[in-house]
Amino acid sequence: MEKNWMEIMQQNNQLAEVLKTNQYTEKFGLVLTQQDAQLLVQERVMALKEQRRVEFGQGVMPKIIYEFCDSAYIDQSHYTEILIRLQNIFYLYKNEMMDEISDDELLHFMKEQFETICYGDLDYLEGTCLMNFASAIRAGYEGYKELEGYGQYSQFDDVKRWDYDLYMETLKELFW
């Protein structure tokens, strides 16, 4: 089936918006080629269909790029693949959170967890951090609104993190 002129025009606008991000991200050593940007736009269409979502305007990809481009866990060799995965995760969890959370709040939450709790692990971000947060949102939690998605995960984290006291306790158990 042929694409109509409206779809082509929208995809060209999205492509231009994605490529425009290079002006900002190149200072972090991250640049998208024309081919990379086309792939991101195509993947957006597929992700929206898969999640049964409709989106108008430029889409969320430029926001994802600006939010994550300074990450310590993203380099040029995996940049496009990580962006595709982040986009898929974003749309999945917009649905899981029943659109109760704004795009910016979700992106802030995702980035904070990606950098701190997940240490760049997208599987942990998707399968643990966002799953726990989505459960809280569906249950009626609204505390994220005050802080725009920042500083929220510790309330839902069910994994005890290693800290000095826990480390010393473990050493005592092992050696005393």
123-149: pLDDT as tens digits: 999 999 899 999 988 988 777 777 666
pLDDT at position 141 is: 79
The CA–CA distances, whole Å, from 46 to 36, 56, 114, 132, 160 equal 15, 15, 24, 26, 37
The yes-or-no verdict on residue 174 having pLDDT over 90 is no
Share of the chain above pLDDT 90, in %: 42
pLDDT-derived band at 6, boundaries 50, 70, 90: low
Q: Which is it for the CA torsion 108, 112, 118, 121, positive or negative?
A: positive
pLDDT tens-digit map of 65-113? 999 999 999 999 999 999 999 999 999 999 888 888 898 999 999 999 9
At residue 173, what are phi and psi to the nearest 5 degrees? Answer: -65, -35
Distance CA 11, CA 9 (A): 5
Geometric angle at alpha carbon 100, from 94 and 106, rounded to 5°: 50
Q: Which is it for the CA torsion 108, 48, 76, 31, positive or negative?
A: negative
Would you say 60 and 87 are in contact if contact means Cβ atoms under 8 Å apart? Answer: yes
Please compute the mean of the pLDDT values over residues 50-61 and round it to a whole number. 75
